[in-house]
Amino acid sequence: MISYLGRRIIQSILILLGISLITFALLYLLPADPVRQIAGRSATPATVESIRRQLGLDQPFLVQYGRYLWSLLQGDLGRSYIQRSEVSQLIVARLPATLLLMLGAIVFELLIGLTMGIVAAVRRGTRTDQSLMVVSFIGVSAPQFVVGLLLLYVFAVKLGWFPIGGYGTFSHLVLPALTVAVMSSGWYARMMRSSMIDVLRQDYIRTARAKGLARATVLLRHALPNAILPIIAMIGIDIGILMGGIVVVESVFGWPGIGQLVWQAIQRVDIPIIMGVTLVSALAIVLGNLLADIIAPLIDPRIKLR
Amino acid sequence: MSTGEINRAAGASAPAAAGKPVLDVSGLTISVRGEDGARDVVRDLSFTLARGETLCIAGESGSGKSMTSLAIMGLLPQPAAYVSAGSILFGDLDLARLEEGRMRRIRGNRVAMIFQEPMTSLNPVLSIGRQLVEAIETHTALSRSQAREKAIEALRAVRISEAETRMKQFPHELSGGMRQRVMIAMALALDPDILIADEPTTALDVTVQGEVLELLRDLQRSRGTSIILITHDMGVVAEMADRVIVMRDGAMIENGRTEKIFKAPATEYTTALLAAVPRIGGGSGRQESRPPGSAEPVASVSDLQVRFDLRGGLLGRVQRRVHAVEGVSFSIRPNETLALVGESGCGKSTTAKALAGLIPYAGDIRVGGRDLAGLGKDERKAVRREVQMVFQDPFASLDPRMRVGDLVAEPLIIHKIATRRECRDRVAALFERVGLPADGMERYPHEFSGGQRQRICIARALALRPRLVIADESVSALDVSVQARVLELLRELQQDLGVAYLFISHDMAVVENISDRVAVMYLGQIVETGTRDQVFSNPAHPYTQRLIDAVPIPDPARRRARFSRMDGEIPSPTRAVGDEPQRVVLRDIGGGHLVAA
């Protein structure tokens, strides 16, 4: 177990290094010039050059990347070009909001997706099954800003059940988390359905019924743990997809998380912030996958971590 | 209603009178809804089951025997299958009409069932103990610790050692035979009136099969349970049954005492079924022993070694090795059948795969006198053509989305032997040769029966005119009558084409019928080899003797009181790095009959 964790952590570090290199290269190749953004339109060429030199942006790519990596190893994510403060402080201030949104989204998507999937599998071939699958299909294909606006219009504007935007209480969380969750719950519903149908066909389900167990016991104690295994691996990957949705949803709902931070940074070519948020998100994805792999053997004793 | 009341209610309804049958099935008809309306899979079936009796329902696939057992359990795959007429009387209760809630109290409690596949019949994510305790708790008012006691008792009753430790283990940590014993423990823990065993030993190795049958017999004697044993194996019927029902196409065609049915079957079908059963010792289709030819061997294997590395640790270094094949040597001449026998995990299939070039190996493999190791890619491909395989499962080894004609033609196209046009003629000729209708070429695999599919696989293997065909358990999945015909076909093809067979099997009776020479494998090594007569009339290695003894004899008059018992589980071929297994030394005990010392 310890050697497994050690190997996985080394792998994770290599992955993060790779991501930092690729992101850095992409930003370097970007036609937009961060110095112009900082200096403003009226700046003279001399001012522009001096800012460029100050930020080290006149150096060749490898030198720039080397410098970034060196400070990164010392735990320094650099300073924002525009906001004049440490990137790490900006991220730390906004991370809790994003993590909360993400957690809320995962809870919602599992609740909705898994329930839909199980019900559809148990009633497969019926009207219920068909309508649930249509709903899940709509969920998967609807663009997130549309879902967000729709939910806002119905539940905040018309019904007034939830606030329109902002941050602070549980009721603030519901609509944004639901918006992020809609797409993935569609995926989960479909995956859970096929996984469950597959499990319900297995011999051990027949054995469980032959013992005289009640239908619900067979379903929850015997089928569910087996059916949920592929879903757990999916949750790890899902965190990456969630990050994409969060950027959009935080803007729609005015949620003060790192999604908004990076959205503003992209518009102003604030490279240190983009790099910082990308690395933090990548770390979240890597940790999510690691967590999923550690949870799997707790459910399935056949899986051994080596 | 508390569980205690439920139990009493179910207990009271069980038949009490000694003379009355435990189960009375009359006029049972089971229908399955299909695309073109409902079809009867079991028609007007009537039988009774007396207390303490073993009733065998025998028949080939599609005879409706499994459907019958599921109907008794109320476990028919609904809504597609349902009881359309007749009754299943258990005491005063008609199980065919009982609503689910009351059926559930009987299921697993008064009527229990064990299934064919012990490997998949236990839930992989729950411990053995939990699965046993759960069954007991469902039907009794016992506390958790009392239920645990009862579960351990049940495991001891099925002769599982260290029962308390086993309770904590998971199904994948037990062998197939152990799992089936756990299933039996689960079924018998509550002392049911009826135990339905659906092909309980079919998926097990022969030596384990004997143990499980003996166990069932002993438990029945001590508890007086009535057993309905569903099987296709007439050997098992002869060993176990008091009475036999023979089913065919959903109808009962014969019903009587075991001795009577074996001695004087009333119908032609039963006669043919009994004749098709392979028997050891001058049985039906046994071929004449032939003197070994002096021709150059088609293939020779010497000192073959196949190991699989298991990696682990921080750097992913090799920590353990599976020693699948250790120093196996043999050769096969044209027109000869060498049988490689042994139980699951002995390395026989791995040997075949190495010979067919499907996995990496160490050692020396020669095909047609040429060493495979020294060849380039193209030459190797040419040599590959000489060796073709036919696999065990004819349902899984044909691509369901390809026409069977294309499947048979594929090797010709891959090896660029024939144009598409020539292919058609060659495939048509092959179809005729293996006894398939020529118009079948345009159809898809699912339109054929198991036996026909295996013929398609054989045609595919023969398409390249190989000199050696490896048949890996190729007839094991087939019904006996189909099996006999496929074996006959293999024999004919050998006479016509002079092809050599490496025939891999666990079934000693089949091996005795088809082979010229036999090699017995145990734990990756050959422990005995010789001509068929040498091995079968004078088996010298204890493992060979056990294999032969374990085959059920299809003759109730020669029923055995005791099967040969294993000395425990077969050891694992997985070993630590550097811990090499000891090689056995083969000694000639006369006329080329080699036996491990």
- Own/partner long-range contacts of B393-398 (Cβ < 8 Å, ≥24 apart): B393/B477, B394/B450, B394/B451, B394/B453, B394/B454, B394/B456, B394/B457, B394/B477, B394/B478, B395/B445, B395/B450, B395/B453, B395/B477, B397/B457, B398/B445, B398/B453, B398/B456, B398/B457
**8 A C-beta contact, residue B296 and residue B570:** no
B138 to chain A: nearest residue by CA? A213
B186: chain A residues, CB-CB within 8 Å:
207, 211
Q: B172: which DSSP letter?
A: G
- Residue B340: strand, helix, or coil: strand
Task: Tell me the fold of B299-386+466-596.
Answer: Rossmann fold (3.40.50)
Mean pLDDT of all residues in B150-168: 87
Dihedral class, residue B91 (left if φ above 0, else alpha if ψ from -120 to 50, else beta)? left
State pLDDT tens for residues B348-383: 889 998 998 888 889 999 888 888 777 777 888 888
Of B534, B496, B501, the C-alpha closest to B515 is: B501
Mark yes or no for CB contact B108/A210 under 8 Å. yes
What was the pLDDT predicted at B255? Answer: 92
Tokens coding B329: 């040597």
Q: Which two tokens stand for residue B307?
A: 């190991």
- pLDDT for the residue B3: 43
Q: What is the DSSP letter of B544?
A: H
Chain B residue numbers touching A208 (CB-CB < 8 A):
123
B123 and A210 within 8 Å at the Cβ level: the answer is no
**Cα B1 to Cα B9: distance, rounded to the nearest angstrom:** 10
> Using one digit for the tens of pLDDT, what is the confidence trace for A44-103?
888 888 888 888 888 888 888 988 888 888 888 888 888 888 888 888 888 889 989 999
Question: What is the average per-residue pLDDT within B195-205?
Answer: 85
pLDDT at B314: 64
Domains of chain A by range and CATH?
Answer: 87-299 (1.10.3720.10)
Complete DSSP assignment for B143-171? -HHHHHHHHHHHHHHTT-TTHHHHHH--G
Residue B135 with chain A: CB contacts under 8 Å? 211-212
pLDDT at B473: 87
Whole-number average pLDDT of chain B: 85
Position B273 scores a pLDDT of 85
Cβ-based interface (< 8 Å): residues of A facing B: 3, 6-7, 202-204, 206-214, 217, 221-222, 225-226, 299-302, 306
Question: Which pLDDT value is given to residue B113?
Answer: 93
Question: A212–B120: do the CB atoms touch at under 8 Å?
Answer: no
DSSP for A97-165 reads HHHHHHHHHHHHHHHHHHHHHHHHHHTTTSHHHHHHHHHHHHHHHS-HHHHHHHHIIIIIIIS--S-SS
pLDDT band at B205 (very low <50, low <70, confident <90, very high): confident
Looking at the complex, report in whole angstroms how far the Cα of residue A295 sits from the nearest Cα belonging to chain B. 13
Three-class HEC string of A204-263: HHHHHHHCCCCHHHHHHHHHHHHHCHHHHHHHHHHHHHHHHHHHHHHHHHCCCCHHHHHH
Please tell me the distance in Å from B354's CA to the nearest CA on chain A. 28
Q: What is the mean pLDDT of residues A163-191?
A: 86
Q: Which residues pair with B502 in a beta bridge?
A: B338, B470
pLDDT in tens, B256-266: 999 999 988 99
Span of B261-265, B410-414, B561-565 with lowest mean pLDDT: B561-565
CB contact under 8 A, B122 and A222: no
Nearest residue on chain B to A299, alpha-carbon basis:
B125
Say what angle helices A87-122 and A127-141 make with each other, to 10 degrees. Answer: 160
Two domains, one topology: B3-275 and B299-386+466-596? yes
In the predicted model, is pLDDT for residue B111 greater than 90? yes
Give the mutation candidate from A13, A124, A207, A295 for the B interface (greatest B CB count, under 10 A). Answer: A207
Q: Give the residue from A243, A232, A242 showing the smallest Cα distance to A292.
A: A232
From residue B445, alpha-carbon distances to A110, B434, B436, B450, B478 in Å are: 40, 16, 13, 10, 16
Residue B550 clears pLDDT 90, i.e. is over it: no
Residue B44: pLDDT over 60: yes
Interface of chain B toward chain A, CB-CB under 8 angstroms: 73, 75, 104-109, 112-113, 115, 117, 120-127, 134-135, 138-139, 170, 172, 183, 186, 311-316
Q: How many helices (H) and strands (E) does chain A have?
A: 14, 0
First vs last C-alpha separation in chain B: 66
Q: Identify whether the C-beta of residue B539 lies closer than 8 Å to the C-beta of residue B511.
A: no
How far is the alpha carbon of A292 from chain B, nearest alpha carbon, in Å? 17
Tell me how far apart the alpha carbons of residues B589 and B595 are, in angstroms, rounded to a whole number: 7
Domain regions of chain B by residue span: 3-275, 299-386+466-596, 405-464
Architecture of the domain defined by B3-275: 3-Layer(aba) Sandwich (3.40)
Residue B13 has pLDDT above 60, yes or no: no
Q: Are A212 and B122 within 8 A, CB to CB?
A: no
Residues of chain A contacting residue B311, judged by C-beta atoms under 8 Å apart: 306
What pLDDT, on the 0 to 100 scale, is given for residue B8? 40
**B122, B186, B314 ranked by CB distance to A7: nearest:** B314
Maximal C-alpha separation, chain B: 79
List B362's β-bridge partners, or say none.
B305
